[in-house]
Homo-oligomer: A and B are copies of this chain.
């Protein structure tokens, strides 16, 4: 099974071309669409989508991810082998979050042209390099055949939050989801580690304080935004059956603060 995530959208031939190439190499595989509506060139958004969906797939799945503004340039293509999965992607940080939760066994630079489509278009490595590599992997070609070992992979900065000493943490808006929920950079895991998860008081975002914490959306008040722990482990700011992002006029990257009760008053 090959999952496929991209910023190709669905109005062009790009998704179909990659699927065609994959099925052309391995008609027995199944390509499962995760998302092709990643905003164009938005590597961070793709990193979040991968982190929220890949870990649920069965072992041995090949995860193919192509958001690739640097296509054709010197950025490498990468194959990351973990205990459970194989990831194929441009090495531009797109795997930052997915690999964080995994035991990485080996990394390879995609260089073995015999597994690529020929000629290689300098503008479409999804079709000519990443798709074919994913397909050959699904046919059982061993990872080390695709190129030399790499020691590390590119990581995105600014996907986590910073502690400060004044009783608050600084973070930012990571993502706005389809419902307009504001996904923040504060994960329950990180807050638990620093011991504040039980002591959250309010989010400060622009001029607003969001102090009402609930467990699920339908529990939120009708007339004001509230916050809750979202299903991917990040705190979210939401509003009842409308878009909190629109209400508060925020977008990915907007800075915000999370205030917590200090243990000693």
Which residues of A pack against B, CB within 8 Å? 1, 3, 5, 7-17, 19-21, 23-24, 27, 30-41, 45, 48-58, 61, 69-73, 121-124, 127-128, 175, 177-180, 215-219, 228-232, 241
Contacts and interface: CB of A to CB of B under 8 A. Distances in A.
Nearest to A40: B179
A24 B30 CA distance: 14
A178 to B, nearest CB: 3
The 5 closest A-B pairs by CB, nearest first: A72-B216, A13-B52, A20-B56, A16-B53, A124-B231
A69 B123 contact: no
Contacts of A23: 1, 32, 57-58, 61
A241 B16 contact: no
A123 B228 CA distance: 9
B49 A217 contact: no
A10 B15 CA distance: 14
A175 B11 CA distance: 10
Contact of A39 (B11, B37, B40, B61): B11
Contact of A53 (B20, B37, B41): B20
Given A30-B30, A40-B178, A124-B231, A56 B17 contact: yes
Given A23-B1, A122-B216, A12 B178 contact: yes
A232 B128 CA distance: 12
A51 B229 CA distance: 34
